[in-house]
Structure 1
Amino acid sequence: MERPQGLKRVASSIRIALRPDRIRLASGVILMVFLTGHLLNHALGLISLNAMEVGRDIFLALWRSVPGTILLLGAISLHIALVFYKLLRHRSYRRLSGKDILQITLGLFIPPLVILHIIGTRVAHEIYGLEDSYTFVLFSLWVATPTLALLQSIALIVAWIHGCLGIHFWLRLKPWYEKKFSLLYSLALILPVISLSGFINGANEVERLFADADWRDAFFARLDLPPDLIGWAYTTRDIGFLVMFAALGVLILSRLYWTIRFRRRKVNAITYPDEKIVLAAPGLSILEASQLGNIPHASVCGGRGRCSTCRVRIMEGWDKLNPPSDKEIAVLRRVGAPEGTRLACQSVPTGDVSVIPLLPTTATVRQAFNQPAYLQGQEREIAILFADLRAFTKFSEQKLPYDVVFVINQYFRHMGEAIEENGGHLDKFIGDGVMALFGLSENSKTASRMALNAARSMANELEIMNENLKTDLPSPLKIGIGIHVGQVIVGQMGYGSATSITAIGDPVNTASRLESLTKEYASQLIFSDKVAKFAEDDFSELRHESVDIRGRVEPLGIYIVKDARRLPYFTV
């Protein structure tokens, strides 16, 4: 049974690797490596023309070898073909972002700008045996036809920006990219500058050499240009232009095709929360419909199906969507998306559907990667801890604002460290209170033990804090802690920058009530019977009572702890 499963995994990996978008990306990276090497070779002109020639020999040893030639020609052919295929399939360009439009536009300008340069170097070398050295190229561009020198400089900048945008769209989904962005951005700016500087410096050196008649005669004699080379080069360029115009015509016809095809079909009604409805033409994805109807919808990767931030829950009309592709399935698996989730950019309705966007419009790259399932909303049994400083309002009335802020920040730091060191998630600070969650990824036993350990640590930290600040405090700070465990709804909730992981449900209210009870019992910690049951320890020495909790029908058994520092440490 293992062998078929292994073969299936291998087949799945191969299928993913051979997806058109993966091949297009790989071919683009190869072309970017080639272009980077070419620019670095230009930059050697800052040293001398001879340095450029030495660099060229090394550069061509790689790219004019048989493997290098196959790799380069394959990358060029595949990239052009797959980009053309993508543009043909694109149903609408109106809702593309400015960066996407810029990248597409720059990409369309590259072939007409570089075709003559390619014909005059590599193609002429292969057909006529021309030695396309830097001296020859710089003479042809800078001395013989200065206008071409300007065009090739523009081509270099256009190709570089196009490639950098593509690399940016790819790498911005990597966790490390944000930290390295400033460095990479600086390198992306510096490289074309030093490349053009080297190009100009080398060209000036060729121009000085060309002023010497003996050098000029020797140069032309060694070059031995075929008489029909120039005419052939321009004729070949014109044929290339005709092919490009034909391709552009096909793209224009594809726009007419999509317009005519979908205007004949019934529009689809896409329903969003708050009863917002967008009437979208057939063929538009859910994300495109959102953009059409000005519905805020996250999409970090710009609708390329890479980031998953546009994912939606399909409430109605699952059967009226196109089947998810291998690409979409792989992305949804990566983030652990629950059943009923689709990528809005990859989902094309064929009828009326109802959806709920799952991420806020402020979603970042972090949400594009595998995250716990509870972030999207999940019912879990967890432990909830509430803590509150006693008589802090009175303290704050007697102190300057600076002193109050200093003390409260010290308190938050000590309590936060105690909670996090014991595996808790610091939910929020409420005034001088703290709410923490335990067991977001663990079982109830571990959650209860972690919460009790955290209470013990918090009591110890408060003692340390009181000792450190005894000269600033009129009396030692006191704390009340309440812990309860129960079934709650956990998820990422809030709005905008105030979004955070939190929990809602009756156990949260109960934990808060237990914290309030510490005042009545003059104790430092109160935890429920349920916490004690899951913790699986002997608490017979502790005071135990049953109390009525507002909002609960039945009395709740509680354990009262005068000093939480005396709790044993629980193994988790």
Structure 2
Amino acid sequence: MLKNIPLMKTATFINHLKAHLCCPEQQVKKQLATIAVQQNDNTTSYQAFASCSVDVTKPQTTVYVSPAEQQLAQRYNLPANVTLAQGNTKKGNALSDLLGSITTRSEERNLGLLFLDIRNFTSIMEVYPAQTVLHVVRLLFLLFSKSIKENGGRIIETGGDSLYAVFGLDAPLGAVNDSVKASYAILNDLETFNTSYAIPQFGLDIEIGIGLHKGNVAVSYSDLDDLGHLTVMGLPVNIAARLQAATKELNNNIIISDEAYRILEPTANDDAISIRLKGISAPVPVRLLGYPYHSNLFATA
């Protein structure tokens, strides 16, 4: 029984715990990331991330929570032989503490942010079958992903005709510069793709819009279907997304905030223009780094 296990190294203890729970692939093995700690009364308990104790010495489950919270515990598939005991928590209960540990604690990072959107996507959907459009978008995103990764970026989300990437997770000092290099590499990829494939095969001259920004954001990892998922959130993310949308009205396919641009050109003091962004109270100074769209048609969503 685990109650007889002496103090041991963290990795060894976790292996014992996983074997006892008989759920090596369950998400709970990370929620119960644990260290055996010797209490003042010479008993051994097992401490979870959020300092709620987890008693695995009883064969049956007894979760001392409300019916609604117990239903939530069942939705998270907590092992049947785990008993959540009230720990020395200042507020809440063991279940809320355990659920709070499903995602890792977020950390603040200063990152470069890139939002990209395919411009004439709606008009393409009106002309071509969904399978054809999906095929073209997947091919494009494979190219864009390569350019992003080669310049130190990581794609956080994709959805339909858009993607969102961050730079600086590994090399924060060059984050903005890397995002700009990736943007130009993407434009080069797109030109080659249009010339050699999209135009001759489908008569499509595809355009994109890119918004670039930087700033302090919250970064956290979580488990979705046992896959590591990186979440990046914060006001700078919203601003980058709005800058991407502004490429249409400004008729330029790459827009960067002046704040980010000054990382590249610290002495720059002209050519910035201030624009209003949806949901942002103050005007945002920006720079135009790209090229005009081929026609007004391609400036539409």
Query: How high is the TM-score relative to the length of structure 2?
Result: 0.66
Q: Confirm or deny that 1:548 pairs with 2:276.
A: yes
Alignment of 1:360-439 (within 5 A): 360=102, 376-439=105-168
Please state whether the residue corresponding to 1:396 is helix, strand or coil.
helix
Please state whether the residue corresponding to 1:549 is helix, strand or coil.
coil
**Greater Rg over alpha carbons, structure:** 1
Q: CA deviation at 1:540?
A: 7.2
Q: Deviations over 1:212-233 (max 9, x none)?
A: xxxxxxxxxxxxxxxxxxxxxx
How many angstroms apart in 2 are the aligned matches of 1:289 and 1:524? 61
Q: CA deviation at 1:474?
A: 2.1
How many angstroms apart in 2 are the aligned matches of 1:481 and 1:438? 14
| Alpha carbons of structure 1 residues 289 and 451: separation in structure 2 relative to 1, 3 Å | farther
Q: CA deviation at 1:391?
A: 0.9
Q: CA deviation at 1:534?
A: 1.8
Q: Deviations over 1:243-289 (max 9, x none)?
A: xxxxxxxxxxxxxxxxxxxxxxxxx9x9999xxxx9xxxxxx52538
**Aligned partner (choices 61, 81, 89) of residue 292 of structure 1:** 61
Alignment of 1:253-264 (within 5 A): none
How many angstroms apart in 2 are the aligned matches of 1:508 and 1:490? 11
Q: CA deviation at 1:551?
A: 2.9
Q: CA deviation at 1:505?
A: 1.1
Contact 2:102 2:223 in 1 (8 A): no
Contact 1:489 1:505 in 2 (8 A): yes
How many angstroms apart in 1 are the aligned matches of 2:160 and 2:230? 18
Please state whether the residue corresponding to 1:292 is helix, strand or coil.
coil
| Alpha carbons of structure 1 residues 499 and 358: separation in structure 2 relative to 1, 3 Å | farther
Larger helix percent:
1
Contact 2:210 2:255 in 1 (8 A): yes
| Alpha carbons of structure 1 residues 289 and 500: separation in structure 2 relative to 1, 3 Å | farther
Corresponding residue of 2:97 = 355
What amino acid maps onto 2:117 in structure 1? D
How many angstroms apart in 1 are the aligned matches of 2:55 and 2:114? 40
What amino acid maps onto 2:191 in structure 1? E
Between the two proteins, what is the percent identity of the paired residues? 25
| Alpha carbons of structure 1 residues 21 and 554: separation in structure 2 relative to 1, 3 Å | closer
What amino acid maps onto 1:316 in structure 2? T
How many angstroms apart in 1 are the aligned matches of 2:192 and 2:281? 40
Q: Confirm or deny that 1:561 pairs with 2:272.
A: no
**Aligned partner (choices 217, 221, 231) of residue 488 of structure 1:** 217
| Alpha carbons of structure 1 residues 315 and 532: separation in structure 2 relative to 1, 3 Å | farther
Contact 1:426 1:437 in 2 (8 A): yes
How many angstroms apart in 2 are the aligned matches of 1:412 and 1:382? 22
What amino acid maps onto 1:425 in structure 2? R
How many angstroms apart in 1 are the aligned matches of 2:55 and 2:77? 7
Unpaired stretches in structure 2, ≥5 consecutive residues: 1-5, 25-44, 64-72, 293-301
Contact 2:156 2:165 in 1 (8 A): yes
How many angstroms apart in 1 are the aligned matches of 2:290 and 2:177? 18
How many angstroms apart in 2 are the aligned matches of 1:505 and 1:554? 16
Q: Confirm or deny that 1:316 pairs with 2:86.
A: no
Query: How high is the TM-score relative to the length of structure 1?
Result: 0.36
Please state whether the residue corresponding to 2:237 is helix, strand or coil.
helix
Please state whether the residue corresponding to 1:551 is helix, strand or coil.
coil
Corresponding residue of 1:223 = none
Contact 2:48 2:54 in 1 (8 A): no
What amino acid maps onto 1:534 in structure 2? I
| Alpha carbons of structure 1 residues 457 and 517: separation in structure 2 relative to 1, 3 Å | same
Q: CA deviation at 1:292?
A: 3.3
What amino acid maps onto 2:177 in structure 1? R
How many angstroms apart in 2 are the aligned matches of 1:502 and 1:271? 23
Corresponding residue of 1:512 = 241
What amino acid maps onto 1:288 in structure 2? V
Q: CA deviation at 1:297?
A: 7.9
What amino acid maps onto 1:292 in structure 2? T
**Aligned partner (choices 252, 257, 265) of residue 523 of structure 1:** 252
**Aligned partner (choices 178, 189, 201) of residue 450 of structure 1:** 178
| Alpha carbons of structure 1 residues 355 and 520: separation in structure 2 relative to 1, 3 Å | same
Q: CA deviation at 1:298?
A: 7.9
Contact 1:547 1:555 in 2 (8 A): yes
Q: Deviations over 1:392-413 (max 9, x none)?
A: 1211221123321210111110
| Alpha carbons of structure 1 residues 97 and 429: separation in structure 2 relative to 1, 3 Å | same
Corresponding residue of 1:474 = 203
Q: Deviations over 1:100-127 (max 9, x none)?
A: 9xxxxxxxxxxxxxxxxxxxxxxxxxxx
Q: Deviations over 1:316-335 (max 9, x none)?
A: 36xxxxxxxxxxxxxxxxxx
What amino acid maps onto 1:487 in structure 2? N
Q: CA deviation at 1:553?
A: 3.0
| Alpha carbons of structure 1 residues 413 and 540: separation in structure 2 relative to 1, 3 Å | farther
How many angstroms apart in 2 are the aligned matches of 1:401 and 1:554? 39
Alignment of 1:8-19 (within 5 A): none
| Alpha carbons of structure 1 residues 315 and 474: separation in structure 2 relative to 1, 3 Å | farther
How many angstroms apart in 2 are the aligned matches of 1:20 and 1:316? 23
Query: What is the aligned-residue RMSD (CA, Å)?
Result: 4.3
Q: CA deviation at 1:440?
A: 1.9
Corresponding residue of 1:533 = 262
> Structure with the greater relative contact order (CA < 8 A, sep ≥ 6): 1 or 2?
2
| Alpha carbons of structure 1 residues 419 and 293: separation in structure 2 relative to 1, 3 Å | farther
Please state whether the residue corresponding to 1:563 is helix, strand or coil.
coil
